[in-house]
Each structure stands twice: as C-alpha cells, then as structure tokens.
Amino acid sequence: MNVLYFAWVRERIGLPRETIETSAPTPRALIEELRSKDPRYAAAFADLAALRVALDQELADFDAPLKGVKELAFFPPMTGG
Amino acid sequence: MNVLYFAWVRERIGLPRETIETSAPTPRALIEELRSKDPRYAAAFADLAALRVALDQELADFDAPLKGVKELAFFPPMTGG
Amino acid sequence: MQILLQEPSFDAGALLNAFTAGAGNIGAVVSFTGVVRDHPQTPLTAMEIEHYPGMTERALEEIAKSAAQRWSLGDVLVVHRFGRLTPGEQIMMVAAAAPHRRDAFDAADFLMDYLKSRAPFWKREITAQGPQWVQANPQDEDALARWSKD
Amino acid sequence: MQILLQEPSFDAGALLNAFTAGAGNIGAVVSFTGVVRDHPQTPLTAMEIEHYPGMTERALEEIAKSAAQRWSLGDVLVVHRFGRLTPGEQIMMVAAAAPHRRDAFDAADFLMDYLKSRAPFWKREITAQGPQWVQANPQDEDALARWSKD
C-alpha cells in the first residue's frame, strides 16, 4: 500500500511517501503498528485528534476497512481557502 | 416647495416636478390637498401603502413636519440593485 | 469608500482588481454583480432604470457608510447604473474587502439588501407587451429586518 | 463548472468577467477572493501552500458539484493556488452565478466553508521566527455545520 504524509506529519516522519506491507485492518491499527516501529511515527501520530486520514483520496474514518485500498494518506486538519 | 414625482407616480400625475405653495403641515395633509385638486393626483395617491415620501432627499414618514422643507418627493417603493 | 453612479457600462473585473489592490492589508474580498436577466416567456427588450439625482448619491453613501461602521472593513465599493439597459448587461456591483471572510460576506449581503429597498431607483421592463414597472418584492423588505439589532 | 488548481498567480478580474459572460441568463454573480494577509506584529515573508495532488482536484470538483446540486446556479468557479506566495498575493477565488441573488450568496459562502476544511491544502507561514504551520480554526469546522440539514 502507498502511504502518503503531508504537512507536519510529513516533516515528523521525514518522508513524503513510502510503500508499506501491512495486514492492518484499519488506519487505526496501521497507526499502532507504525508507532511501535519507530519514534518518528510515534511523534507524528501522538495525537489522533490532530490527524486526518484519506483512503484512495477520500476522507475516511480511522476505523474504515483498509481492504482493497491502494493509497492511504495521513495529514493534519486542512487549512485551504 | 419643490415637489418631485418618480416612476408611475410621475406618469400618473404627468409631471416630473412642480412648485407648490402650500401650508399643509405634513405630507399626508399635502396629499389630501392635491387629491381634491385634480383627478390625476387622486389616481397617483390612491393607495398610500404603495407610496413613499422623501423630505429634502431623506426618506420620511407621511406625518413628518413639512416646516422648513425645500424639496419633497413622492415615489413608489424602490427597486434598486 | 468608492461610489459610482453612472449611465455607461462598467468593467466589473477591472473594478474588482483595482479595489482589491487598493484595499490595504486584507484577507477577503466579496463582490456582487447584478445582471439584467431575460424573461423565459416574454423576451425583455430593455430594462429602464429611473433614479432621483441628488438623493441617490446620498443614499448610496449612507448605505456604504453604514456597512463600514458595522463591520471591520478595508474598503467598500458601490457601483450603480441608470438609464436603458439590455439583457445580459451589468446593472450594479458592490464589493467589500475585510481582514476576515465573514465580515466581507456579511457586508456585501447587507449592501445588496439596502440597495434593493433604500436607494431611490425604479426599474421598468420593456417587452413586446409594453412597459411595466417592476414591483418591489416584499421579501426584499423582509431581508432588511435581518440587519436590525442582532 | 470550472476548477483551476495552479501554482501561478491568476487575474481575478479577468476570470470574473469571463465567468459572468459565460454563465448564461443569470441575474447575480457573487465572487470571493482570498488574499495573503500580512501580520501586524511579525511580518510575513511568505505563505507556502502544500496540497495533495490528485485528491485536491477531486475534492474541488466534489465541492463545486455539491453547490450546483444544492442551489439553482448558472455556473460555479473554483480557483486555488499552491506553492509559495507573498503578502498581498491572491490565494484563491470562488464565484457563483445564479438567477437569484440569495442563491449566489449562499453558494459562494458554502464553497468557501468547504474549501477551508475539506480541500487538502495546508498553509505554512514563514516569518523571521521561522516557518509555522497554520492551525485549523475550530470556527471553520463549526461553519460547516450551518449547511447540514436546513
């Protein structure tokens, strides 16, 4: 699965994107997996309330199913306009 | 006093403006005076609810004092914008 | 504060650009442009706009000043034409520039509501069936009530 | 429906004129332009806008479509830039053309509320004190609630 990071999530993780092999069923489970892998992820994902997730370019819930998803993105609340 | 008419009030009276010598204390009294003078005024002033009045270029009430007023205007509700 | 009362057409885009450039350190500009709309049934030959010279300028200035007093604005623009217009022509325009977007939206909305019912213009539509004065819409009067004491 | 996502600056006036001319038989056009506002205390060197290529285009189209479904509109325009901007530069613009003025105002207001919180853009301000990500304003999220079920 392609995983993308934007804004300060990207900065804390130090990468704009990476390919992750995972069997995590939801974004929430994937976050737990990554947090335990490296302190950079722990820093980026410290506060879920300050985080948003998109699955295949649509905003989604942290408990949405990851099955079949090709592209996942984590980012802070948007500040367009 | 200069009396001005606009839109269909002007059309019904047949004049855009005229000078009127009056001792009417209010626009309402002036309207009564004019109505009895000529059927054109009676036609223009038939329905006060459809009429507006300005005294010296400020919207005013039909019972506002005419004392000192130089320019009075009668017209229908405005349709700007 | 810029007020334009004129018979000729105006260039809304050029006015918007000049207004935005001149409004100072602002974050938001809202503009409204009114266009002569054709009738679906009886095609409109022309829209004639009569006004009250002297009072019109005063009313436009008062309306713009009220908006400037009520909201924190960088600048206000009011443009209104009179005379004979054809369908598709632009009748009028307002713009409000503000540090914050809510103020710009509300001020433009307020300017429009006041222009509709408090500026001495009268519209007459000319169709094949002859001329017809446009009647004031009671909703326009109701819209004004939104701005009193809230 | 016109969506422009681009790095270079745009000419709001020229876009407004073309939009109005192309919107068909409408009576009202409301536009909103967002401008990079300088800070009174720590002067802003630049505003950097990051976005999510692919998702951004989809989000802008969805937002414009929602407006077109919700109100009776002649046309909708959405313009948004990304990259590095300096104070006074125009960031984005929306416009809504409609037969009636209330629809044009509400649609433009709605477009702005959704762009603020539902389009994947992230702003970063650069000052002498370094870069700082702009935090989402809780009021912007609250503003969205206005449009649900009324």
pLDDT in tens, D55-111: 999 999 999 999 999 999 999 999 999 999 999 999 999 999 999 999 999 999 999
Q: Which residues contact C53 (CB under 8 A, 6 or more apart)?
A: none
CA-nearest residue to D79 within chain A is: A81
Subunit contact C112:D104, Cβ cutoff 8 A: no
Residue B2 falls inside a structural domain: no
- In the predicted structure, residue D145 carries a pLDDT above the cut 70: yes
Mutate to test the interface with D, among C25, C36, C89 (most CBs of D within 10 A): C25
Residue C149 pLDDT: 63
Residue D40 pLDDT: 80
Strand bridging mode B52-55 / B58-60: antiparallel
For chain B, the residues whose C-beta falls within 8 A of a C-beta of chain C are 4, 6-8, 54, 57-59, 73, 75-81
pTM of the model: 0.96
Residue A38 pLDDT: 95
Query: With pLDDT > 70 as the criterion, what percentage of chain C qualifies?
Result: 99
Q: Where exactly are the structural domains of chain C?
A: 2-149
Give the span between the Cα atoms of D88 and A79, in whole angstroms. 18
- In the predicted structure, residue D10 carries a pLDDT above the cut 90: yes
- Residue-wise DSSP of A22-79: ---SSHHHHHHHHHHH-HHHHHHTS-GGG-EEEETTEEE-TTS--TT--EEEEEPPP-
Residue D39 pLDDT: 85
Q: Give the model's confidence band at C45: pLDDT under 50 very low, under 70 low, under 90 confident, else very high.
A: very high
> With touching defined as 3+ CB pairs under 8 A, do chains B and C touch?
yes
CA-nearest residue to C57 within chain B is: B57
Residue B13 falls inside a structural domain: no
Which is more confidently placed, B25 or D24?
B25
Closest CA to B7 of B44, B35, B38: B44
Residue B41 belongs to what domain range?
19-75
D99–chain A Cβ distance below 8 A for any pair: no
Q: Which residues contact D114 (CB under 8 A, 6 or more apart)?
A: D63, D66, D144
- In the predicted structure, residue C142 carries a pLDDT above the cut 60: yes
Cβ-based contacts of D37 with chain C (< 8 Å): 25-27, 99
Q: Give the model's confidence band at C150: pLDDT under 50 very low, under 70 low, under 90 confident, else very high.
A: low
Residue A56 falls inside a structural domain: yes
The domain defined by C2-149 carries CATH number 3.90.1170.40:
yes
Instruction: Please state the domain count of chain A.
Output: 1
Residue A19 pLDDT: 98
Residue D41 pLDDT: 84
pLDDT (tens digit, 9 = 90+) per residue, A34-62?
999 999 999 999 999 999 999 999 999 99
Residue C41 pLDDT: 84
- In the predicted structure, residue D113 carries a pLDDT above the cut 70: yes
Residue B80 falls inside a structural domain: no
pLDDT (tens digit, 9 = 90+) per residue, C74-90?
999 999 999 999 999 99
- Residue-wise DSSP of chain D: -EEEEESS---HHHHHHHHHHHS-S-SEEEEEEEEPPPPSSS-EEEEEEEE-TTHHHHHHHHHHHHHHHHS--SEEEEEEE-EEE-TT-EEEEEEEEESSHHHHHHHHHHHHHHHHHHS-EEEEEEETTEEEEPPPPHHHHHHHHTTS--
